[in-house]
Amino acid sequence: MNTGAFFDIDGTLHRNSLMIEHFKKLVKYEVIDPRLWHSSVKYTYKEWRKRVRDYEDYMLELIDIYIDALKGFRKDDLEFISNQVIKLNGEIVYKYTRDRIAWHQQQGHKVFFISGSPNFLVSKMAEKYAVDAYRGAQYLTDENGCFTGEVEPMWDPVSKEKAIDRLTEEFNIDLPSSYAYGDTRGDISMLQKTGHPVAINPTRELVDYLKKTPELRERARIIVERKDVIYTL
């Protein structure tokens, strides 16, 4: 059997969110009305930056706005912007996580990305880091290739658990010897299912969950990366 390493992307590898970077590029190139950002998204963003609101509440609100903004656009027409997101942001990552990906690959482990960002962005990030497979949120399109506003999520524990189960079967993964890396409550199922869970810059909710789950906390490592210093808690 193979050892696997399951990585979330946003907040775990990438220092922001691929979806947010894509949203900002759509505004910059005036693909979507800039007033959408300034009227709703910018306020939510500022509230989170000031630590007035929780990160996950902020992200869920942005996802709803983003999904609605994409509705009706052809996926292929946004390909240039999608490529720009990875070109300009693909290396804005946490050093710890980048090094862990390289270490797992050197060990011959199977490396996977499981992310709540759109699958069409996750696929490009997966190619950049040469991982074995990936799963992202599926933004559905109609027969003309236009976004319908329907999404099959990959940002919640249930969806990520299904993804990890399928990858485990497909790649013959031994979960007790495997690793998982995440930062929010959406990654809880990945952390629970593997023998070596790692919480990277975890949200308060994830830390609280670890405290309430002694069996998981006993196995888990908490990593905090700030500037050029990496702390293990």
1/47: higher pLDDT:
1
Interatomic CA distance for residues 95 and 230, integer angstroms: 9
pLDDT band of residue 42 (cuts 50, 70, 90) is low
pLDDT for 59 equals 77
Would you state the torsion angle of the CA atoms of residues 140, 124, 180, 162, taken in this order, to the nearest 10 degrees?
A: 20
Give the integer Cα–Cα distance in Å for 191 and 210: 10
CA–CA separation, 180 and 73 (whole Å): 35
On whether the pTM is more than 0.85, the answer is yes
Q: Which tokens go with 166?
A: 């399928």
- Rounded Cα distance, 170 and 183, in Å: 25
| pLDDT of 38 | 67
Instruction: Report the percentage of the chain scoring pLDDT > 90.
Output: 77
Measured at the CA of 39, the angle between CA 60 and CA 120, to 5 degrees, comes to 45
Confidence at residue 53, expressed as pLDDT on a 0 to 100 scale: 65
Name the pairing type of β-strands 196-200 and 133-141.
unpaired
Mean pLDDT, the chain, integer: 92
Nearest one of 224, 228, 164 to 195, comparing CA atoms: 164
DSSP states of 171-220: HTB-GGG-EEEE-SGGGHHHHHHSSEEEEES--HHHHHHHHH-HHHHHH-
Residue 113, beta-bridge partner list: 7, 134
Average of per-residue pLDDT across 173-186: 96
pLDDT of residue 32: 85
- pLDDT tens digit string along 113-165? 999 999 999 999 999 999 999 999 999 999 999 999 999 999 999 999 999 99
136 against 27, higher pLDDT: 136
Please report, rounded to a whole number, the percentage of residues in the chain having pLDDT higher than 70: 91
Query: Could you tell me the CA-to-CA distances from 131 to 7, 135, 161 in Å, in that order?
Result: 10, 11, 19
Q: What is the pLDDT of residue 40?
A: 64
